[in-house]
Every structure is written in structure tokens, then in C-alpha cells.
Amino acid sequence: MSDAVGSAKPETGGIANPPVIILIEPQLGDNIGKAARAMLNCGLVDLRLVRPRDGWPNERATANASGADIVIDNTKVFEREEDALADLNRVYVTTARTRDAIKPVFTPKGLAPEMRNVISRGEKVGVMFGPERTGVRNEHIAMGDAVVTVPLNPGFTSLNLAQAVLLIGYEWWQAGVDVPDYQMMMNDTFPATKDDMERLFVHLEAELDASGFFRVEEKRPNMQRNIRNIFNRANLTHQEVQTLRGMIVAMRGGKYKSKD
């Protein structure tokens, strides 16, 4: 049990103790900063560096964090992996390839609910990222409880550090939000009712009749159906129906006043 369970800050999406991100031997400050930015995008705020090449603090990291100061200012630096992991109950190690170790393997999508379960029991978890060029070494794999591998184009799997951090964080955040995968942006209006649509069609057909559009009587039923299909498919709003009726009136030389 960690004693670090504190108040849930808003920037973490209400989670008191979100996963810690541990970067082993990171090189360019640019990449550390971009990783920090990706972390805050996803409600992760606890960054730890083991033997950063260019020391710490690092101006390039701050510049590339693009305002994720809360992450940069609280970043901790360690000389040894063991010290960076000491207070964690569970550690997951990211790796691009299978190893000589018997370990559970998660995708980022599978890891997210796993971490949320473990954290809900009061445990503290971390995700470890290896050196940028070489990835984690077998000694790092041995420090972890499980590994994480992102399913990607098998011919081109190499992710940069910030992008690997982003994918772990992205799935972490998605597992905690309840946004529908598809919705209609409605902008203070409402979908048209079937009555709105029927009035539109009656209006339109009357004006088409008056203007001589339905020349061949036997084709009328089919043409009416086609026209109704066009507008039904458009998922119109109430306001858009009024706009269309205004267009009809204008084209017929009149002035439309909404009566609905």
C-alpha cells in the first residue's frame, strides 16, 4: 500500500494516484518535454527520470512541454532504477519486441483497465520506458510485473519516446471517460421531428406541382420517394427545415413566414 494516496487533483481526471511514468536514460530534452506534454494531455503528472543524459532541469524540456509545467516542475531524477521504482507496487515495462521472459503482455488498451483496477485497491503503479535508441534491456524487463507492447505495422514499429508515452496515456485516459464514439454536434438546435419533415415535403411537393416539375404523372410517385429519401438522409434539424422552406418560398417568388 502506498501512502501517497492524496487528494485527487482535477488535472488527473479525479484519480488520486495516477500511474507514474519512468524514463530510463532519456536523451534530448525536447523528447522529455514532449513526453511531459503528452502526459498532461492524459491526466498523468508524476514523471521520473533515471540518468537523463543532459542533466535536469533542462531548458529544452521546459520549452517542449508547451505549458505542462506541473509535470516538469515535479519531475524527479534518480541514479538507479531501483530507487525510481521503490515506492511502487506494480511496474509495467514497455517493449517493442518479445523477450526471453515469462511475463504477461498487455496492449495499451488492455493495460488501462488493469492499472485502474490495481490503483482502485490503493496500490501505486508505474510504466517504464527504455533508452530511446535501444529500448529497455532484459534487466529492466526483469524489474517489471508485466510488459506492454503496442500493436503496430510490423514492418515499422519504432515509436519515438513521446509518442510511446502518449499511447499509454491516451488509453489510460479513454478508460476513464464516457464519451460516445459517435454523436451529432447540435449547436443549440434539435433534430427535426417527422412532423417537421412531413410539412416540408407537402410544401415542397405543392410548389413543385405549381411550377410544373411533375410533368409525367406516372413518374410522380417514384420521384416523390426519391426526393423524400434525399432530405430524410440528411438528418435535418428543426432550424434547417425552416431554412429549406424559406428557400422554396424565395425561389417561387414569395416570402416565407414560419407557422410551426
- Please name every residue paired with 23 in a beta bridge, in sequence order, or none if there are none: 49, 129
Among 7, 134, 183, 258, the residue binding a copy of itself under the rule CB under 8 A is 183
When binding is defined by CB under 8 A, the residue of 1, 86, 177, 210 that contacts a copy of itself is 177
- Binding segment (CB under 8 A) for a copy of itself, from list 80-88, 160-168, 203-211, 218-226: 160-168
Examine residue 218 and tell whether it contacts a copy of itself (CB under 8 A): no
* 78-118-177 Cα angle (round to 5): 100
Work out how close the CB of 184 gets to a copy of itself at its nearest, in angstroms, rounded to a whole number.
6
C-alpha cell at 4: 501517497
Stretch that binds a copy of itself, among 126-134, 151-159, 208-216, 222-230 (CB under 8 A): 151-159
Q: What three-state secondary structure class fits 255?
A: coil
- Please state at what angle helix 161-174 crosses helix 29-41, rounded to 10 degrees: 10
Tell whether residue 230 is a contact of a copy of itself (CB under 8 A).
Answer: no
Q: Which helix (H) or strand (E) holds 249?
A: helix 238-251
Does position 107 interact with a copy of itself (CB under 8 A)? The reply is yes
Round to whole Å and give the CA distance between 214 and 233: 22
Residue 24 vs 148, nearer CB to a copy of itself: 148
β partners of residue 77: 49
The secondary structure of residue 176, as a DSSP letter, is T
Binding positions for a copy of itself, rule: CB under 8 A: 10-11, 13, 34, 37-38, 40-43, 66-68, 98-107, 109-110, 114, 147, 150-153, 155-160, 162-163, 166-167, 170, 173-174, 177, 179-187, 189, 237, 240
